[in-house]
Amino acid sequence: PYQAIPGPRGPFGMGNLYNYLPGIGCYSWLRLHQAGQDKYEKYGAIVRETIVPGQDIVWLYDPKDIASLLNERDCPQRRSHLALAQYRKNRPEVYKTTGLLPTNGPEWWRIRAQVQKELSAPKSVRNFVRQVDGVTKEFLGFLQESSDGGAIDMLPMLTRLNLELTCLLTFGARLQSFSPQEQAPESRSTRLMDAAETTNSCILPTDQGLQLWRFLDTPSFRKLSQAQSYMEAVALELVEENVRNGSVGSSLISAYIRNPELDRSDVVGTAADLLLAGIDTTSYASAFLLYHIARNPEVQQKLHEEAKRVLPCTKDELSMDALRTDITYTRAVLKESLRLNPIAVGVGRILNQDAIFSGYFVPKGTTVVTQNMVACRLEQHFQQPLRFQPDRWLQHRSALNPYLVLPFGHGMRACIARRLAEQNMHILLLRLREYELVWSGTDDEMDVKTLLI
């Protein structure tokens, strides 16, 4: 029975929220992977945790259970970005729905079905190769100018790259994020970067626990609202610019404006969602990708060799065909990086129907979250799981369970921009062929902050 699932309930069944409070508890919302590992060691491959009375999360670590959860096909629901949904409900003059991230049910599918058309087909995504390649080469020039022969903090640099790419592909607009003017603290680029980071940092604190923001103007909700207000203003401005230009461009928003199934509020909401996802999360993934390469010179050497076969001369244009067929090692490097450091610890769902996981009954309406990041670091799933070994994806791929590494989610609710994000990172790796990345930090494994489930 459901009540028999092991896990923390808190004293007298009052919930385990206290264990996430700073200075009191043993866990942290910013270290969910560590909390997940601890719960796995204490309770096993399925855990039922009561956060506050009436709010349970069932955590899944077994790939068979993960597959069972994610293969549900009836408009998968999730419980996430709740405060973002509230912010948008408070702005009916701008939004008719809460957007792709928080919305569930038929209204979510109405938007998703239209928006994904421009992003799901590999051929559509490859149409952006030349634009992405051009911006990536410009970015590497910017890095050279910025390095001064010393160490570089790559995360803010990569955030600028992904901001520039997101705005170019989404709106057909260049923000010139690498220019001295746009590096100023009050510039549009810097403020957008800050707004995306602030929004994502507020998601978990507002999603979990007592959710006092529903009744009070809490600091977290205020920060999220201010950040979203700025991102919304930029999205509105760039959407209107596309409208004034007659929506004749090749950008995603131009295509959405031309789509009679999407109204203006759908387009603005999608634009804001693409900004949020494209700026911060892809930068995080790219930063860990370069971190692993810098710490593994033999991997970097093999990457360079493949890149030089694909691009014999640095002045050569990167072809769409090469990206499709000739970069098997580059793909393996990205896959391995996302195995160790996925964008989120796992994938969340609200059950549409009763289910059985690891022999336990779990009722309809329960919030269930997969623990992919923890599962990917377990010896029973990967040999030497903490080692960065891209070759495992070339030599033993058929033996690896496909439901372990899911950095972009899975199924109908998978990230709509997955192909685009992967393509952008592949292009970055190929264009790094003339550069040597060196890690200047300590030998200790870098830990992470978890801002998303």
Give the span between the Cα atoms of 399 and 407, in whole angstroms: 19
- Tokens representing 194 are 């800050």
Q: What angle do CA 291, 156, 119 make, to 5 degrees?
A: 85
48, β-bridge pairs = 58
Amino acid found at 410: H
Residue 315 neighbours by CB under 8 Å, 6+ apart: none
Give the span between the Cα atoms of 279 and 166, in whole angstroms: 7
Give the span between the Cα atoms of 330 and 390, in whole angstroms: 9
Per-residue buried b or exposed e for 86-112, using 16+ beta carbons within 10 Å of the residue's own CB: bbbeeeeebbebbbbbbbbeeebeebb
Please say whether the beta carbons of 450 and 345 come within 8 A: yes
Residues constituting the chain: 453
Give the span between the Cα atoms of 396 and 360, in whole angstroms: 32
Give the span between the Cα atoms of 288 and 176, in whole angstroms: 24
Pairing mode, strands 367-370 and 360-362: unpaired
Q: At what angle do helices 328-340 and 418-431 cross, to 10 degrees?
A: 110
Classify the C-alpha dihedral 432-433-434-435 as positive or negative: positive
Dump the DSSP string for 183-239. GSTTSHHHHHHHHHHHHHHHHHHHHSTT-GGGTS--HHHHHHHHHHHHHHHHHHHHH
- Tokens representing 401 are 């369970």
Q: What is the DSSP letter of 367?
A: E
26 annotated among ligand-binding-site residues: no
Give the span between the Cα atoms of 325 and 402, in whole angstroms: 21
- Tokens representing 155 are 């995360």
Binding site, residues?
415
Q: Give the residue numbers of the binding site for heme.
A: 415
